[in-house]
Amino acid sequence: MMISLALLLFPLFHATSQEEIVQIVNNVKGGLWKAKVYNKTEFDVEAAMMHMDSTILSEEPVFSSPLQSTPEVFDARERWPEFQVPIQMQAACNGCWAFATTASMTYRLGVAGCYKGLISPQDLLSCDKTNKACQGGNPLRAMLFAANNGIASDDCVPFVSEFGRVPLCPSKCKNGSAIERYKYKTPFQVGVSDVQTLLMESGPLYARFNVYADFLNYEDGIYEHVTGRQLGSHAVLLLGWGVEKGVDYWLLQNSYSEEWGEKGYFRMRRGSNQCGMENAFYGGIVDCNAL
Ligand SMILES: *[C@@H]1O[C@H](CO)[C@@H](O)[C@H](O)[C@H]1NC(C)=O
Ligand SMILES: *[C@@H]1O[C@H](CO)[C@@H](O)[C@H](O)[C@H]1NC(C)=O
């Protein structure tokens, strides 16, 4: 009786350590990616575990029929270097949804011909009461908020919620000048069959996916889930795609600082709805006139 009880309870209390995860991932024969143990000054894995969205996405295969004319490789950073969004650090704020929304809006305003500099995740975190600030958010609600209320520039409202504290919605820029807020006209959700064309035409999009513990130890390569429990979901910026040694991937920008992954970026296996990422992507048509 005592033995069976112990066996039953063990999985509940045993969280796989970073060392165990790294060892398992790096020993996969023909593995597509490498893992590393991060120390706390580089990237705080335990803190990141606690700052996940609770939404879990379906990982059922999704139908996809990419157009014949899609190029083999696309990278928004090379296509639009003038609108490049720096790698940011959400730290102890579960604000990935705000970073992904504003990074995609930054590029999309630029591609539409009305670049406004970096759009502010802080303004969105502080002002959008339809979402939960540093406790998580939903892409369509965030983009609808951007359509109705607009979002300030990052120069005007810089990020200050790295410890999870969220100030009230500001009525002035940090330097005291009046706030201008920039808008989306139409927020939308797009399927995997159309996302590549849309990205090439109008700029990067919001992507979300289920996070398993091994993702946090990603160092480089093409990520696919190997081991570790499901922690929740996370939002990032879709920048493009490519193929390496015959394996298709998505190119993505994270908000875990430049110390994490491929200098803050990562690649995810493409074509099999890995971690539910291919269910949907999100974006908006910008409104250059409504400034
Ligand atoms: C953490 O890693 C960085 C970069 O590899 C290194 O410079 C630093 O000394 C490490 N810190 C600790 C406490 O091990
Ligand atoms: C204050 O900041 C805003 C937003 O970055 C900027 O447009 C404006 O020129 C600044 N004003 C002054 C007086 O520096």
Whether the per-residue pLDDT at 146 is higher than 90: the answer is yes
Residue 49 DSSP SS3: helix
Whether the per-residue pLDDT at 211 is higher than 90: the answer is yes
Whether the per-residue pLDDT at 11 is higher than 50: the answer is no
Q: Give nearest CA residue, ligand 2 atom 2.
A: 156
Q: Give nearest CA residue, ligand 1 atom 3.
A: 42
Residue whose CB lies within 8 A of the most ligand 1 atoms, among 18, 37, 40, 41, for a mutation test? 41
What would the mean pLDDT of 225-231 be, rounded to a whole number?
96
Whether the per-residue pLDDT at 262 is higher than 70: the answer is yes
3-state helix, strand, coil in the chain (%, to 5): 30, 25, 45
Whether the per-residue pLDDT at 6 is higher than 70: the answer is no
51 given a catalytic annotation? no
**CA nearest 226: which of 236, 235, 213?**
213
Whether the per-residue pLDDT at 291 is higher than 70: the answer is no
**CA nearest 234: which of 91, 48, 74, 69?**
48
225 given a catalytic annotation? no
99-110 pLDDT, tens digit per residue, is 999 999 999 999
Whether the per-residue pLDDT at 188 is higher than 50: the answer is yes
Domains of the chain: 5-290 (3.90.70.10)
pLDDT of residue 14: 52
Calculate how far, in angstroms, residue 164's C-alpha sits from the geometric centre of ligand 2.
26
Whether the per-residue pLDDT at 49 is higher than 80: the answer is yes
Spatial separation of the C-alpha atoms in residues 21 and 3, rounded to whole Å? 26
Q: What is the pTM of this model?
A: 0.93
Whether 236 contacts 260, CB under 8 Å: no
Whether the per-residue pLDDT at 156 is higher than 80: the answer is yes
- Beta-carbon contacts of 143 under 8 Å, excluding residues fewer than 6 positions away, are 101, 184, 187, 188, 206, 282, 283, 284
Which is the closest atom of ligand 2 to the Cα of 155?
Answer: 5
Name the H helices within 14-58. 18-26, 45-50
234 given a catalytic annotation? yes
Whether the per-residue pLDDT at 69 is higher than 90: the answer is no
Q: CB-side exposure of 206: number of CA atoms within 13 Å?
A: 26
